[in-house]
Amino acid sequence: MKPLEGKVTLVTGATRGLGKGIAIGLGEAGATVYITGRSLNTSQDDISGSLIETQALVESVGGVCIPIQVDHSDDEQVSLLFQRIQDEQGQLDLLVNNAYAAVQALKNSYGKPFWECDLSLWDKCNNVGLRSHYIASVYAAQMMTQRQQGLICTISSWGGLSYIFGVAYGAGKSACDRLAADMALELKPHNVASLSIWPGIVGTEHISLLADEMNASNVHDQGSAAIRERYNWETPLLTGRAIAALAADSTVMRRTGRVQIVAELAQEYGLVDQNGESPVSLRSLRFLLPSALPALRKYAGLVPDLKIPWWLLLLTILRSPKI
């Protein structure tokens, strides 16, 4: 029996990228996976991806997948989504808040200071990508608290503590972490866990294209090196496998309210990525030293996989906000 057989899960924003990988990871574990997105049969932009394509991949690894076309900026559509899950399944065991509408906008504004970006960037980052997570969590919590069990995973990033893609992005990711932590406080008495999930550098369709464009335009700044050179990349499936392991962990409540780093979860649960590799945490010496000294990358395996303590990171690399 697979670990998530009989479990009902929902992954928002699953036409491609992280959402697709998460859905596949849950399908591998035997879950019934509801997936949402704006594109049912065909992509709405130049990057491929649709719910039907994701459904086929989830089913190919043994999962049951139910695609539902939803625009997460429309609260009524979201309400109907959860009502449908209640009517069809009578339960929801896992919500993955992943829907995000700003990927192309962030790509277009890359390298610009916030005052030169279009004002719409803020809403693109933090409407579907923060507000939408809150709305989905409200409906999920109503279902989960009735059964006194459940897990809400909110996809965030290292950008919540360190400057990555700009002001609007960082503010939104920091808010996602706080959302997960504060929801955990109120959900804990009802035996429902809430976690913030930090993937590493994930080779999604958009990030892969960004790396290609950086190389074609001869962008060589140190800050873009890890993207440009595809160093220590993860695939979206690793996040899916990590979340599946969390959902199957009977002791998951001991983690509630905390940030969970995908590479560290993979190490703890004995997981490997789609390509059989084991990317390290972005706070590992094995990542940090070769990032700073590219000549060491050939010998990265010889660098100890030691995690830098959070207090030291907060004094150096993760230096925002200051109190």
Can you list the alpha helix ranges (DSSP code H) found in 4-102?
Answer: 17-28, 51-60, 75-89
Closest to 102 in 3D by CA, of 167, 148, 146: 167
Burial of 19 (0-12, 13-18, 19+ CB in 10 A): buried
Query: Where do we find the tokens 């697979």?
Result: 2
Sorted by sequence, the CB contacts under 8 Å of residue 46 that are 6+ apart come out as none
CA–CA separation, 63 and 192 (whole Å): 24
The H-or-E segment that residue 65 falls in is strand 64-69
CA–CA separation, 29 and 81 (whole Å): 23
Residue tagged active-site, from 139, 163, 169, 269: 169
Burial string for 109-132 (b: 16+ CB within 10 Å, else e) reads bbeeeeeebeeebbbbbbbbbbbb
CA–CA separation, 211 and 190 (whole Å): 44
Contact 63, 21 (CB under 8 A): no
The H-or-E segment that residue 142 falls in is helix 132-147
CA–CA separation, 99 and 71 (whole Å): 9
Q: Specify whether 139 is catalytic.
A: no
For the annotated catalytic residues, the residue numbers are: 169
